[in-house]
Structure 1
Amino acid sequence: MSEEPTPKKAKLDWGLTDPSEPLTRKDVIAFQKEALFRTINKHRCREKSLEKQLEVCGQQSAEIREQYASLYAMVTALANKILDLSKEDQEAQKLCNTILEGDGKEVLALAADFTVLVEKHISEDEPSARQSPGEASWNKQLHQLEAAKAELSAHNKQLRKEISAIREHYQDLIRRYDREDSDTVRRVFKLQDSLGEGNAKDATEASPANQSEVTNTATGDEKEEAVSKMEHELQIQDLNDQIELLKHTLKDLESWKASSGAEIARLRTEITSINSASEQTNRGIQNDREALLQKLDFTTKENAELTQANDLYLSKFQQMVQEKEIFTNKLSMEFQTAQDALKKHNAMLEKDLVRIRATRDELTSKIAIMENQKPKSEMLADLQKVLDLQKERIEKMENKSVEATNDAVMKELQDLERAFKELTQFAHKKYSDHISQESIVAKLTVEKTKADQKYFTAMRSKDSILIENKNLSKNLHKSNELINQLKEIERTLQSKVESLNKQIHLSQSNEKRLMESSKAVSLKIMDLTSELGKTKKVVETLQGERAKQIEQDARLESNIHSLQSQNSALKLQLSQAENKAKKLHKSLVSNGGDNSIIAEELDNFRTIVYCSLCSKNWKNTAIKNCGHVFCEECCKERLAARMRKCPTCNKPFGSADLLVVHL
């Protein structure tokens, strides 16, 4: 908005001549200078208003920059979020990176694509139900508010136009008041003395250098008094007409001000009611949106928990299957190794048994030979000793624990074998010694002891084999029990696996149901968005048509108002002109048809207003160097003809020294 014109400064003393004296060159120069000053003041007022507008525009641009910065930050945050969400979409990532790294022009160019991407993610992530009747009413109210907003904007434009028209009208009035208050204008256009006919002819026939000085002589006292009286009456009549015109315009402006004030108050009440209704609708929409978001969060959390439980059960099941396979493989390997070891041991025992039987047969044959050689009493004594020894050893063996391990038995066998070897070596040694003393007896005793030892070792090996067979049977029984336990564990695991499969099937069915519901909701959202877009387009077209209609109506009303004001002003001017013509006619009739005074005034006016070179164009171009005023065509013709001197004072000037003035 431009400011009002500044108050006028104190009037300058132009050194004007007495109104009773003829118009001089000094008066004309003062008139031209004051016209230049009025033009300069007008441009100064415009400059101040433009400076004020520039200041307001700077503040608005700063606010717009702040809003742009906040919006750009919000867009970059949204681009970062969408970049995280769309990791598989290469085009979306490229678009988000361009928005994050580009400047404002690139962001503005990609605004449509980014809006489509955001709407896509919103339609995928935000489920919503069908439009409820409350939402339909809210949308209807929103459309009504948008229509009211368009109407108010059109009315605001119309009010701005009317305000600018009023401002121009007041500026014109102030300019006219400045001209009316000007002494130089009053001195030039309202002469107090009449001009003579002879001096007027001399002024028209004078050279261009002396046409700016106007000289005349006074006529009779009666004519002067009559002319001054008539001019005074005409001036009073003009002032009265202007006052009436101003009163009429003031009444129109007051009525228009009252109507516009009432309209503004009504619009303010409508705006407050619209704002309150829009706030209520926005609050309800926000509450529904929050409820839907909470429901969506709950369903997503439940789905995530079900997927986690499903993954946990699957991992446990796979781990148990792997452990079962490892345990069965390990058990089968251990059983196979134990079975192979037992088979090898049985084969070795069978070989030992065959060897022992062969030695037994040899010993029996030797014993038979010895029995034939020895007496029966010695043989019985030896047998009794052998039996005693066997009983002692059997008792010792029975006293030992039956539950000795295979390693202990093998160790004992090795110790026995080692002892047996040592004993045999010792016996051989003794036997060799005894042979030297008693060849045949010692030989038989040694053979008898060997037979006893072999018999005893055979008995001991038989006992160890029996013990080992018992241990193997116990191990087999334990392995059977372990196999039964593993079978029971397998049954329990199978039942658990079945229950887990049931839970997995249930979770999958729930997930499918949720996916189907989300797809249905997304389809509903897409349908609703398409319907909303169509309705928005229809509403926008209707609003545009309504705004155009409102603007056209407002324009027609303003045209009608301006035409009415122009009509009233023209009527007043017509009535004033008729009154002035009647008065002039009366004055002419009273003076006997003498119009020489008016002709002289017209000639003086022509000499002041029209160019002194061509006498047909208005003076509208001033020379800055000397202040003389001519028409624009004459100045250009003189510059084109290289006549670069003022026709009045012969001062040189150029095209840059010309200044446009408005008389």
Structure 2
Amino acid sequence: MTPVAASAPSLPSFIKMEDRKRAAGQSTDDLAPPTKRQAINGAGKAAADSDNTAPWSEDIEKYQKDAIYRQMLEYKREKATLESQLKNIQKKSTDHDDHLRIIDAWWTQLLEEVTLLAENDIPNSEKPEISFSTSLQFNGIKGFSDHLASKGIAIKSKLHTIFTKVAAARGKPSADLQDLQVKVTKMLASQKEYLVTVDRLRNEKEELNERLESASLRYIKAEKRLDRLRSDAVRKEEAKALYHSTANGIRAENSLDTEMTNGIAEDKEASQTAYKEAQAVVEKQKEQLEAMAAENKSLTEQITSASIKQVPSDDDYARTELFKQFRIQHEDVIKRINHLEATNIQLREEAEKLQAERTAYRIQIENEAETSTGELESQLQRLDADLTRIRSARDELLADLSVRKATQDQDHAAVEHLKELVGAKDDRITSLELEVERLRQIAEQSCQPTPGPEIDSLSLEQLRVKYDLLQQGYDSINKELPALQSAYKRVQALTSKKVMDFTALEEKVSVLAAEKSKADQKYFAARKDMDIRLAEVRSLKNQNAKSSEIISQLKDVETSDRTLVSNMEKQLSDMRQSNNSIMAENKKLEASSREATSKCESLKNQAAELTNLLKSKDSANSSTRQKIHAVELENEQLRIRCEQAQKDRDAWKQKSLSNQSGEEEMLRTLALCTICRANFKNTVLKTCGHLFCNHCVDDRIANRMRKCPNCAKPFDKSDVMTAHM
């Protein structure tokens, strides 16, 4: 069970409520009557209802978008949690893989060293009677057996061969020793199994604590998201809680079997000495095994009691303060649920009563609406007839108005032309007046033109007078010319304009005639279109009468949807009130949770310090015990050697006092080879200095038994040297 799986179904009721709200909003928008039909029907109430529902649909759309955005944020938080969890798992898997590779290499190295130590010194026994049990007895733990399945066959075969040789070299052990070995093996295996089980349970407990912590944090977040109010302080506390985790290492204990090597005795006394030493060592090991068995039993009892204490019972849970608080809260919630159910029943009865009143009122409104609809339809028919009559009168008036406008435009043009002619006449009058003035002046002077010879006879004064008269006439002519010119131009322009106006009028008359024919055609087409429209209006009225029943049904559905929305709003208000009370309780629980978290942190730190101290003490104690065991074994061996040396001393004393021939025989045996007892010692080994005959040394080199029989030190062909005695 992952934290995501635990926190996923935290808000099912609210999500369902949002889905129901979406359905209600969509049905209200989809089932609303269209605008055009409302306009044709003439009912003003439907238009008012559509105006009232427009902002409600906008609020529903905003609420849907807000819900989608919150769900996206939830998915984003779940993604971040899963990514962090995946990183932790990858890190742990890397550490586990490295640990397994180191264990495999260590096993291989250990097997090679034990094989080298027990290869040549111990004779091979093909059919051993007793085999030392090497099974780790982890059959109950499937993961451990599957993990070592690839290496198990090779390891078991090698260890079986090695310990078979060791058992054969030591001789046939006693029945008590076999029983002790079996018991020790079983106890060690059970101890390892208990240790692995305790370690696994500890890791599972830590993982469950982390999951519980993450689940509680997600529950707090879900409750806080209900009112859409989250402060910065709460965010910081949640971030601290999310990243608050403890890491523990995996403990593993490995035990190594002590190396056992024994040399072959040179003679009967040496073999007896070795046997006594081995017997003393075995006795001492028996005592140590008994002590270890007693200690193992006490440790097993402690582990059992610790495992029992580690898994709390229902009574322990019931005695905790947190359980009591949860029970009190549960009882309060049950009481509130009962109260809410009672209020819900009362509200349901009131809602049914209001629904009945609403149905009666709706029937009354529908009857009134039908009567008003009939009146409006009759009024609409009258208005259609009046509209047709008014349109025909309007067309006549428009035609008369266009004719009057055309005549008025023509009269206005004629007036303008007359004004221009009057202006030309005035110009002509002014020019004629100037001409009359000039002629009058000439008449007054009565001056007759004189021939050319007479001009020469005229005097200077007469010429001046003549010149003045001519100058006056010229000036008057110059004055007449602009008026005549302007009058001529105006007359010419008026004549050309008159001609152009007449041509334009002719063209305009032709265009108006064509337009009149087109307008007549359009008028007749419009009349036909109006007849078609009237037929369509009649068919639409019939369809409207048929669709009124559908509209009434849609209104019923709309009222039911609105009642559903009102009920949902009431439920939402109730949930908000309960949410506020739960938030207040949640704040109190958060305060108590913070205090408990701080206490738990301090206790965890103390437990970690004590664990480290115990580990250091245990390591020092184990090293001290190993040293004590080694010293005790060495002490037993030295004691046996001392006793044997005392016996040899007594024997030498007796021989020296009794007879000299025994001494000679002893000296002869000293000169003989200790391997074959036939040839004299004539070859020495440089590595250790022991003497043997050359035949025995050559045989050992040829048979690849290149270790000294006395001290088991390795030698080679180059380490052999001839000795002269």
What is the TM-score normalised by the length of structure 1? 0.34
Higher relative contact order at CA 8 Å, sep ≥6: structure 1 or structure 2? 1
